Amino acid sequence: MLNFSKTFNKYEALVAQTDKLFSNIQDAYKDCVRCKIYCCDCCYAVFDLTLIEAVYINYHFQKSLSKTDQRQVLARAEKADRRFYQIKHRLQKMYLRQGMSSEEVLLHLARERAACPLLNSDNLCDLYKWRPITCRLYGIPTSIGGVAHICEKSGFKEGTAYPTVNLDNVNTRLFELSKELLREIGSKEEKTHMRLVPVSTALLTDYNREYFGI
């Protein structure tokens, strides 16, 4: 079994920083941050994971869930994977054939809705403790590619200045960690560190020696 422990430790340090940042904004804007148990609006957002996040969530999926729960999640993942790639294919055609800008594609993507395969029938996340960074920041103002985003269920108002997390900076660090992960295991698949996949694909993938070309 491949050992990702060193890079996982660095990723978990970034997660801790992220949680602290969320907590600080939540404390400063108690009336605006309305995240609560059973609220799963963010669980329908469509987004991709970097390699480090994909491998990390796959690892804890294999380690933490029973075989019965894994089968249920994988069944949802197969369905979600088809849905995500239909969305991506449609947006790619809009980008290539209609001359849509990358910013416009991001706006369209933000409007898409599809259930995360980790969302169970109780409206809870089966891997909440190990959820991705995007999930940890959803309830506070963020920006990516110069486009701002606020949760529609929050109390944050458009046009008002708030502390905002720049996800481009977060993603830069995640790509750096993805590259470090490849070095840690001795993989020569250098371009793999830029690979992005939805949660469904991360769960369905076997991140073994063959995958990394070792």
What pLDDT digit, counting tens, does each position of 190-207 carry? 888 999 999 999 999 999
Contact yes or no for 56/8 (Cβ under 8 A): yes
pLDDT at residue number 3: 95
Ranges assigned E (strand) in the chain: 142-144, 147-149, 165-166
What are 66's two structure tokens?
């029973």
CB atoms within 10 A of CB 84: 23
What pLDDT digit, counting tens, does each position of 13-40 carry? 999 999 999 999 999 999 999 999 999 9
Contact yes or no for 23/78 (Cβ under 8 A): no
* Secondary structure string (H, E, C) spanning 116-139: CCCECCCCCECCHHHCCHHHHHCC
Would the pTM of this model clear 0.85, i.e. be above it? yes
Percent of the chain with pLDDT strictly greater than 90: 76
Rounded-to-integer distance, Cα 212 and Cα 214, Å: 6
Angle between helices 102-111 and 67-97 (to 10 degrees): 140
Q: In which band, very low, low, confident or very high, does the pLDDT at 88 lie, cut at 50, 70 and 90?
A: confident
What are 69's two structure tokens?
């729960």
- pLDDT surpasses 90 at 80: yes
Strand ranges across the sheet with 147-149: 147-149, 142-144, 165-166
pLDDT at residue number 96: 62
Contact yes or no for 187/51 (Cβ under 8 A): no
User: What is the residue type of 147?
Assistant: V
Helix (H) or strand (E) holding 38: none
In 3D space, the residue among 200, 214, 207, 208 whose CA is nearest the CA of residue 43 turns out to be: 200
pLDDT at residue number 190: 81
Contact yes or no for 58/202 (Cβ under 8 A): yes
Q: In which band, very low, low, confident or very high, does the pLDDT at 144 lie, cut at 50, 70 and 90?
A: confident
Q: Which residues contact 197 (CB under 8 A, 6 or more apart)?
A: 48, 49, 54, 205
Distances (CA, A) of 15 to 18, 48, 177: 5, 17, 12
| Length of the chain, in residues | 214
